Amino acid sequence: MNAPSKIAASFDAEKARADFEILSRTVYGKPLVYLDSGASAQKPRIVLDTMRDFAQGEYANVHRGVHFLSAAATDRYEAARRTVQTFLNAAREDEIIFTKGGTEAINLVSYSYLAPLIQPGDEIVLTVMEHHSNIVPWHFLRERAGAVLKWVDVRDDGSLDIEALDAAITNKTKLVAVTHMSNVLGTVTPLKDIIARAHAKGVPVLADGCQGAVHEKVDVQALDVDFYVVTGHKLYGPTGIGALYAKRAHLKGMRPFNGGGEMIREVMKDRITYADAPARFEAGTPPIIETVGLATALDYLSGFDRAAVAAHEHDLLTYAREQLRQFNWLRVIGDAPGKGAIISFEADGMHAHDLATILDREGVAVRAGHHCAQVLMERFNVASTSRASFALYNTRADVDALVAGLSKARGILT
């Protein structure tokens, strides 16, 4: 049952798994099976060690410091920006803005880029599978500026109706905001096609890459995307750090998001001038240690053959889907072709939280709830689902543990 797939043979998941010390622990006397990486991935030893070593022996505040440690820390901080630039293949390092995470990055675009452009009746096109982080900032503009949110549906298998999205873009559309990969369905959107269609009508595109960048190799130049958002903690890095890629042409005209130190050029009693990007959008002391950790995590992930990792994750998804077909009382939500390694499901007669609680007692960590995607839950007429999300450190044995746990839960709850 646990024989490795030939397609995934070039990636050694067991070897990678050894990089994550937390995966060797037990929960309730059972080996930990961590299937919640879609919410937050575990951190490899090298990320934790690098952050600790930096904090212990190299830390100082960055920029403008003339002493040795400040200069060295500044070098590490700006080197991290170049690491993100390389990871996303951005044309320039000043197109990378460090943020607290994906949520702040999207809010930055909403406030700094779109809010000054919105007039009553102007439209923002979204899909029904967006995370709340890619919904709520646009609701702010609906409430405060009279923007109209236009929703694009998904098909019953969870795939995006690209023709419907194209039709939703009108001469009133000011932005298309779309996920790269759904955090609930695993659906991978045809991002390049979406961007081409939007640009043909003169409309910029923001892509929420918080899931997509983990599982797909991203080239923002090839995509020609206007804004692309990532968050560190899903990329095997720390919390409290993320990044926004934005085309330089957009950044030049965007107003500051937060005010304070670092983002200014000159402050006087009667006037103020602002720094250029990226400093303009990075007010205050940044998350220096976390930024160093993010760079290390991206280097770690990039050290693998990304295609081999993707094949391994696809093998896990395929195997899990095959094993779950034995349960005629379980409904998988979303089976779009080419989907990522995420499975959301509901079970007859079992609340998602009850099911997840029993799985937890078996050592299997899954997420239960609406996954910050209530619009999508409404689309599929469910209040909540249980979700298993796979990462490079998962194996077929983890799938077997999930299946065994589901069988036990069925016996207890029905």
Q: Annotated catalytic sites, by residue?
A: 372
Question: Is the separation of the CB atoms in 240 and 101 below 8 Å?
Answer: yes
Q: At what angle do helices 306-324 and 396-413 cross, to 10 degrees?
A: 30
Of 144, 112, 110, whose CA–CA distance to 124 is shortest?
Answer: 110
Question: Is the separation of the CB atoms in 409 and 350 below 8 Å?
Answer: yes
Question: Is the separation of the CB atoms in 130 and 150 below 8 Å?
Answer: no
**Rounded Cα distance, 11 and 205, in Å:** 34
Question: Is the separation of the CB atoms in 115 and 105 below 8 Å?
Answer: no
Of 40, 39, 2, 5, whose CA–CA distance to 20 is shortest?
Answer: 40
Neighbouring CB atoms inside 10 A of 152's CB total: 23
Burial of 251-286, coded b for 16+ CB within 10 Å and e otherwise, reads beebebbeeeebbbeeeeeeeeebbebbbbbbbeeb
In angstroms, what CA-CA distances link 130 with 154, 331, 358, 360, 385? 11, 21, 29, 27, 16
The torsion angles phi and psi of 182, rounded to 5 degrees, stand at -65, 135
In angstroms, what CA-CA distances link 96 with 43, 172, 265? 23, 29, 19
What's the burial of 3, exposed, middle or buried (CB within 10 Å: 0-12/13-18/19+)?
Answer: exposed
In sequence order, what DSSP letters do the residues of 232-280 get, joined into one string? GGGTTS-SS-EEEEE-HHHHHHPPPSS-SSSSEEEE-SS-EEEPPTTGG
> Which amino acid is residue 15, in one-letter code?
K
Q: What tokens were used for 281?
A: 């959008």
Question: Is the separation of the CB atoms in 339 and 324 below 8 Å?
Answer: no
**Rounded Cα distance, 3 and 98, in Å:** 42
> Which amino acid is residue 368, in one-letter code?
A
